[in-house]
Structure 1
């Protein structure tokens, strides 16, 4: 296994360990503090940014491995057609070499594919756990638990806004803000219209006696 595929395998092992760490049952307070630290730590943020770049390279390796598997499969099918000829023994040894290359190509494809798939699972699991923690904290606040709320809950809620639900909330808040701006503009236009109407009415009243004279 080459160096970069060894690094991909190491990353896969790290992802498995992280996933096990996410699903381990922990007390609510401990889990809330842990996820608040993860969502706030600048070191974790830098690691997440670096991992995104790493996964782009792994995606390129995955595409390359799929291409290699396809080419090896085409080569194997051509050898299978030529096995009945006079050079069948020589072709047989070459076919074994091609099968070995097919095995390594498939191994690399599965390795990169599972690494990318597990990264998506980790992302969704992290967002779902943040949402569950936020909802559990709201339930405890409603029940009157004094330990609920606080800075950790605010950090978790802010981190949960990175997910899809948070994105929809931000869009809804932006729409509501636009509606408020439109309401203020319409109120300003109504006041201006009322002032202009009053001014026109006062001018008509002032001009009427002059015409009578």
Structure 2
């Protein structure tokens, strides 16, 4: 197995571990804190962006493996026709084994990439469904007057993709810093303008006093 297919296999194992972690029954408070951290962490947001790029490459590998399986199937079909007709272009035993091996590896790579992509969709949908359930449980507990959530507001109300809230908060902080810097520049320019205005008014009023 080549290096990139080994990395795809490791990613598949990681997805299986994450899926098991999502479906493990946990108390409401623990699960709420976990999903709040996932939604607000900027590190998770960066990892999610990197995973999207990774899945694009896996999709390319999947298409390539499907193409290889199709070509091997055509080659085997042509060999079977040659065997049936008794022609001279019959593939030998070693060559047939080589073609069968290429077929096996191509199918293995196709299934590996396909299951990795499919499990990524399942993980995304499972995360969204669990998040919706937590929101509903939080609302029900708030209506019942549960002190664990009463007065805190819904921490999962605006949660969407992993790390989305953290990324938005970072962008808001960056915009606030830019706004503060802009206000400082405007204030300094206003002070400089007033100073120059005072100098100009003073220089124009001095000759009049001499007259």
Same fold (TM over 0.5): yes
Q: Find the residue that maps to 2:45 and give its secondary structure.
A: helix
- CA distance in 1: counterparts of 2:54 and 2:89, whole angstroms: 46
- Cα distance in structure 1, aligned partners of 2:153 and 2:17: 24
Give 1:80-95 correspondences, 5 Å limit: 80-83=80-83, 84-86=86-88, 88=90, 91-95=92-96
| Residue number in structure 2 paired with 1:71 | 71
Cα distance change, pair 97–139 in 1 and its aligned pair in 2 (3 A) = same
1:45 is paired with a residue of what secondary structure?
A: helix
Q: Distance in 2 between matches of 1:2 and 1:31?
A: 38
1:26 corresponds to which residue?
Answer: 26
Task: Give the drift of 1:92.
Answer: 2.9
Deviation, 1:91, is 2.5
- Residues 64 and 152 of structure 1: CA distance in aligned 2, closer, same or farther (over 3 Å): farther
C-alpha displacement of 1:149: 4.9
Deviations 1:154-173 (A, max 9, x none): 2x22114x59xxxxxxxxxx
Q: Determine the C-alpha separation between the residues in 2 that align with 1:75 and 1:152.
A: 64
**Structure 2: distance between partners of 1:93 and 1:76:** 14
Q: Contact conserved, 1:68 with 1:105, CA < 8 A, in 2?
A: yes
Other-structure match for 2:154: 153
Moved runs in structure 1, 4+ residues, more than 6 A? none
The structure, 1 or 2, with the larger RCO (C-alpha pairs under 8 Å, 6+ apart) is 2
Distance 2:78 2:22 in 1: 48
Alpha-carbon separation, structure 2, partners of 1:151 and 1:82: 75
1:125 aligns with 2:137: no
TM-score, normalised to structure 2's length? Answer: 0.72
* Structure having the larger proportion of residues in helix: 1
**What aligned pairs does 1:156-175 form with structure 2 within 5 A after superposition?**
156-160=156-160
Cα distance per residue 1:30-85 (max 9 Å; x no partner): 00000000000011000000000000000000000000000000001111112233
- Asked if the contact 1:130–1:157 (Cα under 8 Å) also holds between the matched residues in 2, the reply is no
**Count of residue correspondences:** 160
- In structure 1, runs of 5+ residues without a counterpart are 164-213
| Structure 2 residue 66 is matched with structure 1 residue 62 | no
Query: Quick one: structure 1 residues 47 and 96, their matched pair in 2 at CA, closer, same or farther if it must change by over 3 Å?
Result: same
| TM-score where L is the length of structure 1 | 0.71
Alpha-carbon distance, 1:153 to partner: 3.0
